[in-house]
Structure 1
Amino acid sequence: MAEVFVANQRTGNGTLRRVWARNSNYKQYNKVVEEVASTMVAWGASLLLSAGKADEGRSTTEEDFMAWKENLVLFLKTHLDWREHAASRSLITKESHEGVCIHMDINLSGQPEIKYKSGDHIASWPVNPRDEVDRLLQVLDIKKADQRIIIQSKAPETELRLPRRTNALALFEHYLDICAPVPRQVVLSLVDFTIPDVVKIALRKIGKDKATYSAFLASTRLTFARLLAYTSTLDPNINWLSLPLSFVIESIPTMSPRCYSISTSNITSPTQVSITISVKQTRLALKPEVAIFGLTSQYLASLGTSPCQDPGTVQKQNPLQTIQAQIRRSNFKLPMASTVPLVLVAADTGIAPLRAFIPDRARLAVMGRQIGNITLFFGRRDTNIDFLYRDELATVAVEPLEGKFELVTAYSRVPGKDKRYVQDAMWERMG
């Protein structure tokens, strides 16, 4: 889209309503911003300050905007004598699974209207951990968490992604991503409320700029509840009774589903889909003993699993559990002609959709159809760990895809050997 926009802009032809390229991994990274700025200068405009550039590739879009906004506000204050005014706010109404891979089967037989195709996704809605929910209820001093509240948007054009009638417990468990990191803007916004000066000074200090806040987060896990709890370490007498629930709702992002590739074939398994989940953790840079797990993967893991012991398999989720999920369609499909050769490349749980495609071709082979050769380049860390679906891949290579299926492995963490990745294996094959 960005490339088309740039071409049209240079020739003066065509218009586009929506264009973007905010990811530094793309060739046209922020090209639209650069072209618009340079064109306006060519037409006689003057830049007040450098154009702001966000980078979704590093997940710093919000921080990039904050830095640009701060420079803009400083310019307006210095050169145009502008002044900031605080806006008023009103109340609406009152076991470690480190490195584990989980195989989860989802039974669709009770919902015959639900159909899927190989390559589609499952979108799963997580549930926030109860300890984080209780922490937020406690710090906000909400004693009647099941009391009904009504949420109304003051901007009719704004889509409200929350139920209009709900309660605090449901909001914090299912609708607000209370485990999400806290943006620096929220830290600074808390200063506007009636709180002790020592807390205001501390919040301004940690939210001073991007570098300062990043350094603070390197040693502190900060969710909204943990941020409010942190202020009590500065002043034990502080309370947040005056904090409007509207501010809480505005400050915490709404819950979004996480998508996982379906790892089963709709031809061989029409009423049961499987997903392959990697449960990993990140650690704080300056406090590595603090581990942070992915919200949805950890939730799915908590439904009843244990670490995998057999390196040739993955741990299967216990039966009789219910999740909130839906099928999401995908354009990632096999070629229509079965004779087209396939070169499949995957690492880790990225093998999930490819595991769905292989049975599709195997079924055609059983039916006597001509099929093209299949080469799977599969990257793993070590020969003895995390070799997902090892036995299954070995079986399919013998029957029914004998002579048609080849598995090429690449290991990047074998002790005493050089790192070898799938791209290395592909280059070797090309040579």
Structure 2
Amino acid sequence: MSNLLGLLNDKQQQLVGDLTSGLQRDQLLWLSGYLAGLGEASGEKPAAAVTGTQQVPLTILFGTHTGHSEVLANQLAERARELGIDAEATVMEDYDVQELPDAVNLLVIVSTDGEGEPPLNALDFLEYLQGERCRELTGLNYAVLGLGDRSYKQYCQTGIDFDVALEGKGANRLLELVKCDVDYHEDARKWSDGVLEILQQQKGIVSDASVTVSDHVTPSVVYDRQHPFQAKVLEKVKLSGRGSGKEVYHLELLLRDSGLTYEPGDTVGIFCDNPPELVEKVLEITDFDRNEQVTIKNGTHSLETALRHHLELSVLNRSVLESYRELTGNEILGDLLNDEQALDTYLYGHDVVDLLTDFSAELEIAGLVSVLTSLQPRMYSISSSQAAHPEELHLTVAAVRYDNHDRRRHGACSTFLSDRVEAGSEIPIFIEKNRNFKLPEQNEAPLIMVGAGTGIAPYRSFVQHRQKLKAKGDSWLFFGDRQFFTDFLYQAEWQKFLKKGSLGQLTVAFSRDQEEKLYVQHRMREHGRQLYEWLQRGAYFYVCGDKIHMAKDVHQTLQEIVATEGGMTPEKAEEYLKDLKKQRRYQQDVY
């Protein structure tokens, strides 16, 4: 206390000594930052309480399938750097786990695929944390943000797995795990604010930067999910032939002056309106005044406008049913929520009208609105290459219509595009990167592409792209649909690709052209030996289409082919396929 260069008199020095005696190191750091903040407020620049050498580095790791986690991680890293924190965002598969024991602060942002599965680029890191090779991490502080979808039973399971694994290694949790639904932006922002505030306190940095944490917004791109681009429809053509039982459309959108870029395999998000018939049915059942004003997340609207443009009506999930149960006290709905199998059955193919009808109750308008979630964009595989069409984006869309429980059902976005969008219309879109469905970097690598119905869309972009680049690699397309004459999507284009050599082989399966059903997996089995030979020489295997049936059947068939042609047990064949996935040579885009 004696060497204060005359800054304090004896009485002030005594007060400081009394105040600081008994304080722990982290309390002293906080106090130094607090006093520095007071100095800033006085208008005079104080001596720095924390120098650059005292800044603790921050490691941000992300695992992603669609790219949301990557965007959040990069935004968080930029915000942290603006606050003087040495932050870096890295995809998990590129992170050197040997650096983990020396890390001080770790933030994990990770999505969950399907029923509780980690993204491919997060799998190895998660297995490392869960295994014996990872030592104790008692010196590590961490927090986890999980992205997921409440409509799945294993909601944010990968986030939970990372949180449990890090805690199990003795790491210190900075914040409780935050689980985000598909409408994740607000929860993710609050989590980011929280961890940045803790990190500032940890290092004794307290200034007006704390205000910046709440107010700062770092745009990633000009047009994104929060600020979609209004794309003009240049062309809309029905691909299905006369007599087909399906309605498939080809749409071409103009991207001029948008700055939007995409690669083969990426997806486009489209914001649509709810089907008018569904909106009218909700108003009819509830007998609510369509013109009454309601307040939702994005402002105040008439009830009709909110139902048509802003609230989800076509899809139900567990959280909606739980909120409705809490609002109405319906015991039958409570029983349904406790029966996982019955709940899954109910959620599939039911909508808000079913909920209001099957579990009727006296409702207020505000109550109904509080139960419903925001209308989410629908994602579609892009069916064009930007190398071939620099200012365009193409879509291949099947209109979804079916009867269920004595009522006609309409897919929200597919019928929006088929029934209410024409050439000249403008629709709000954004691009979503798909890191897990990409062409190989080597243009010479062989491709095996398996798709049914509109699952052919990304392969059109693949072949267009390779043709534009004059790639020399072999390519083989397996395509399946109902009938040759009515459902052979882009038939003329595939024939041209074959003639020019951009597509090497085309094998088709039309299920209803003969008495016995014939699917792509049957064609794969017929060509099993050649398929295995392609895999052995480094081919990349792609599957796009229905997740529940087609993708599972294709996987099972591929496993059988590998076992038969490779002389392996089923278990060894499954390991072979798992290894292909780790090499990114077995990729799926399923829904």
- TM-score bracket relative to the smaller structure: 0.5 to 0.7
Choose the corresponding residue for 1:106, options 253, 260, 267.
Answer: 253
Greater RCO structure (CA 8 Å; 6+ sep): 1
Using structure 2 for the length normalisation, give the TM-score: 0.46
Residue 130 of structure 1 is matched in structure 2 by: 276
Letter in 2 for 1:169: E
| C-alpha separation in 2, matches of 1:211 and 1:282 | 26
Residue 330 of structure 1 is matched in structure 2 by: 434
| C-alpha separation in 2, matches of 1:9 and 1:364 | 43
Residue 168 of structure 1 is matched in structure 2 by: 303
- Residue 8 in structure 1 maps to residue 129 in structure 2: yes
Using structure 1 for the length normalisation, give the TM-score: 0.61
Residue 208 of structure 1 is matched in structure 2 by: 335
Letter in 1 for 2:425: Q
The structure-2 alpha-carbon separation of the partners of 1:122 and 1:6, relative to structure 1 and needing over 3 Å to count, comes to closer
Q: Contact 1:186/1:251 (CA < 8 Å) preserved in 2?
A: yes
Residue 475 of structure 2 is matched in structure 1 by: 374
Deviations 1:91-127 (A, max 9, x none): xxxxx99632111111223x34333333322110110
Residue 420 of structure 2 is matched in structure 1 by: 303
- Residue 257 in structure 1 maps to residue 394 in structure 2: no
Residue 416 of structure 1 is matched in structure 2 by: 515
Q: Secondary structure at the match of 1:323?
A: strand
- Residue 294 in structure 1 maps to residue 411 in structure 2: yes
Letter in 2 for 1:224: V
Structure 1 residue 292 displacement after superposition: 2.8
Structure 1 residue 134 displacement after superposition: 3.2
Structure 1 residue 137 displacement after superposition: 3.8
Residue 92 of structure 1 is matched in structure 2 by: none
Structure 1 residue 252 displacement after superposition: 1.2
| C-alpha separation in 2, matches of 1:122 and 1:30 | 25
Q: Secondary structure at the match of 1:409?
A: strand
Compare the two structures and name the one with the higher helix fraction.
Answer: 2
Choose the corresponding residue for 1:115, options 255, 261, 264.
Answer: 261
| C-alpha separation in 2, matches of 1:220 and 1:340 | 39
Structure 1 residue 279 displacement after superposition: 2.3
Letter in 2 for 1:349: T
Unaligned runs of 5+ in 1: 41-55, 57-95, 152-161, 193-202, 233-237, 305-317
Q: Secondary structure at the match of 1:338?
A: coil
Q: Contact 1:21/1:32 (CA < 8 Å) preserved in 2?
A: no
| C-alpha separation in 2, matches of 1:406 and 1:25 | 40
The structure-2 alpha-carbon separation of the partners of 1:426 and 1:190, relative to structure 1 and needing over 3 Å to count, comes to farther
The structure-2 alpha-carbon separation of the partners of 1:292 and 1:142, relative to structure 1 and needing over 3 Å to count, comes to closer
Letter in 2 for 1:330: N
| C-alpha separation in 2, matches of 1:98 and 1:297 | 15
The structure-2 alpha-carbon separation of the partners of 1:269 and 1:164, relative to structure 1 and needing over 3 Å to count, comes to same
Residue 248 of structure 1 is matched in structure 2 by: 368
The structure-2 alpha-carbon separation of the partners of 1:227 and 1:20, relative to structure 1 and needing over 3 Å to count, comes to closer
Choose the corresponding residue for 1:406, options 485, 505, 508.
Answer: 505
- Residue 387 in structure 1 maps to residue 492 in structure 2: no
Structure 1 residue 256 displacement after superposition: 1.0
Q: Contact 1:2/1:20 (CA < 8 Å) preserved in 2?
A: no
Structure 1 residue 9 displacement after superposition: 3.7
Deviations 1:373-410 (A, max 9, x none): 222222334434421111110112112x27x6221223
Q: Secondary structure at the match of 2:484?
A: coil
Deviations 1:242-288 (A, max 9, x none): x251x32331121111111111121221122110012234554xx4x
Choose the corresponding residue for 1:361, options 466, 481, 484.
Answer: 466
The structure-2 alpha-carbon separation of the partners of 1:231 and 1:334, relative to structure 1 and needing over 3 Å to count, comes to closer
Letter in 2 for 1:254: S
The structure-2 alpha-carbon separation of the partners of 1:282 and 1:360, relative to structure 1 and needing over 3 Å to count, comes to same
Structure 1 residue 323 displacement after superposition: 1.6
| C-alpha separation in 2, matches of 1:97 and 1:143 | 41
Deviations 1:353-387 (A, max 9, x none): 1101212222233xxxx622222222334434421
Deviations 1:118-159 (A, max 9, x none): 332211011012233233345545436264x545xxxxxxxx
Considering only CA atoms, is the larger Rg found in Structure 1 or Structure 2?
2
How many residues are aligned here? 323
Q: Which moved more, 1:250-259 or 1:6-15?
A: 6-15
- Residue 179 in structure 1 maps to residue 314 in structure 2: yes
| C-alpha separation in 2, matches of 1:187 and 1:222 | 15
Q: Contact 1:6/1:32 (CA < 8 Å) preserved in 2?
A: no
Letter in 2 for 1:376: L
Letter in 1 for 2:424: L
Residue 107 of structure 2 is matched in structure 1 by: none
| C-alpha separation in 1, matches of 2:357 and 2:418 | 28
Letter in 2 for 1:265: S
| C-alpha separation in 2, matches of 1:167 and 1:356 | 42
Identity of aligned residues (%): 21
| C-alpha separation in 2, matches of 1:264 and 1:354 | 9
Q: Contact 2:511/2:517 (CA < 8 Å) preserved in 1?
A: yes
The structure-2 alpha-carbon separation of the partners of 1:330 and 1:418, relative to structure 1 and needing over 3 Å to count, comes to closer
| C-alpha separation in 2, matches of 1:395 and 1:325 | 30
Q: Contact 2:244/2:486 (CA < 8 Å) preserved in 1?
A: no
Q: Contact 2:452/2:520 (CA < 8 Å) preserved in 1?
A: no
Q: Contact 1:128/1:179 (CA < 8 Å) preserved in 2?
A: yes
The structure-2 alpha-carbon separation of the partners of 1:377 and 1:227, relative to structure 1 and needing over 3 Å to count, comes to closer
Residue 61 of structure 1 is matched in structure 2 by: none
Unaligned runs of 5+ in 2: 1-121, 169-180, 182-242, 533-564, 566-591
Choose the corresponding residue for 1:351, options 456, 475, 488.
Answer: 456
Q: Contact 1:410/1:425 (CA < 8 Å) preserved in 2?
A: no
Choose the corresponding residue for 2:446, options 341, 346, 357.
Answer: 341
| C-alpha separation in 2, matches of 1:31 and 1:123 | 24
The structure-2 alpha-carbon separation of the partners of 1:228 and 1:103, relative to structure 1 and needing over 3 Å to count, comes to same
The structure-2 alpha-carbon separation of the partners of 1:188 and 1:329, relative to structure 1 and needing over 3 Å to count, comes to closer
